[in-house]
Amino acid sequence: MKKSNKLMLLAALLPLALFIFPLWNITLEAPQYPIPLGMNIHINDFSDAHPHDIKNINLMNHYVGMKYIPDAIPEFKIFPAGIIITTILGLIIAFKGNYKWFLFWFILMIVISSAGLYDFYLWEHDYGHDLDPKAIMKFTNPDGTVMGFQPPLFGSKDILNFKAHSYPRLGALFLGLGIAASLIAYLVGKKNKNRI
């Protein structure tokens, strides 16, 4: 097996770590929560950072009319299927394909990941803005519009008494490494090709 194909094999396998490690994490800090509330987002599940965190996030958020974080969302079926399909595709390419296919897989993964992030943003936006009209507490922005409570897509943000942090986790790192590895596989393959 060529070196570039070995790299491509690694690239195809790395995203499988998403089945073990969380993709993303949202953490909420407040003075009353010396241990912050946190939610891990996996490709097939939401999980508590500490026991009962999601329940307690829901309890907090209901005061401003936010919906409960659902037990399951359609993405939990689509994302794992996507990862499995792209992995199989990657494996086939690693064994049968040449460097041009590596580039194809790289672009495919960039497109799929961007679509995933955009989907995540849409969900966050809806979660932060689609508020119960009978909310216990209603807040407005200085310009008079209804205040939203959307957590940041990436980074940290103050939301009322909470400081919200939203950052990728180990699963996302493995996915990123896989994507990067496919690009390197492409570059290495291309270089070797030129040399011949």
Partner 1 sequence: MKHLLKLTIAIVSVLVAFTSCNNTSKSNSGALSSSAAEKVYVAPGDHDEFYAFISGGFSGQLSVYGLPSGRLFKVIPVFSQDAEKAYGYNEETKPMLNTSHGFVPWDDAHHPDISQTNGVIDGRWVFINGNNTPRIAKIDLSTFETTEIIEIPNSAGNHSSSFVTENSEYVVAGTRFSIPIPQKDMPIKDYKGNFKGSLSFISIDPEHGHMDIKFQLIMPGFDYDLSHPGRGKSHGWFFFTTYNTEEASTLMEVNASQNDKDFIAAVNWKKIEEYVNNGGGTMMPAKYAHNVYDEATHSATSTMKKEVLTVNPLDVPGAVYFLPTPKSPHGCDVDPTGEYIVGNGKLSANLTVHSFTKMLKAIEDNKVAGEAYGIPILNFEDVLAGVVEQPGLGPLHTEFDGKGNAYTTFFISSEVVKWKIGTWEVVDRQPCYYSVGHLMIPGGNSQKPFGKYVVAMNKITKDRYLPTGPEVTQSAQLYDISGDKMELLLDFPTIGEPHYAAGCPADLIKPRSKKLFKLEDNKHPYAALSEADTKVVRDGKTVHIYMTTIRSHFAPDNIEGIKVGDKVYFHVTNLEQDYDVPHGVSMIGANTSELLIMPGQTETFLWEPKQVGVWPFYCTDFCSALHQEMQGYVRVSPANSNTPLKWSLGEDIE
Between CA 86 and CA 195 the distance in angstroms is 30
Site residues for partner 1, 99-128, by CB under 8 A, read none
Q: What is the DSSP string of 130-157?
A: ---TT-SS--B-TTSSBPP-PPPSSEEE
CB-neighbour burial class of residue 3 (10 A; exposed 0-12, middle 13-18, buried 19+):
exposed
CB-neighbour burial class of residue 62 (10 A; exposed 0-12, middle 13-18, buried 19+):
middle
Q: Which is nearer to partner 1, 51 or 74 (CB)?
A: 51
Q: Tell me how many residues contact partner 1 (CB under 8 A).
A: 9
Q: Which is nearer to partner 1, 114 or 161 (CB)?
A: 161
Q: Which is nearer to partner 1, 59 or 110 (CB)?
A: 59
Q: Is 1 in the site for partner 1 (CB under 8 A)?
A: no
Q: Which is nearer to partner 1, 55 or 191 (CB)?
A: 55
Q: How far is the CB of 136 from partner 1 (least distance, A)?
A: 6
Site residues for partner 1, 24-43, by CB under 8 A, read 35
Q: Which is nearer to partner 1, 33 or 123 (CB)?
A: 33
Q: Which is nearer to partner 1, 136 or 196 (CB)?
A: 136
Chosen residue from 1, 136, 140, 143 binding partner 1 by CB under 8 A: 136
Site residues for partner 1, 51-70, by CB under 8 A, read 51-52, 55-56, 59, 63
Q: How far is the CB of 56 from partner 1 (least distance, A)?
A: 5
Binding site for partner 1 (CB under 8 A): 35, 51-52, 55-56, 59, 63, 136-137
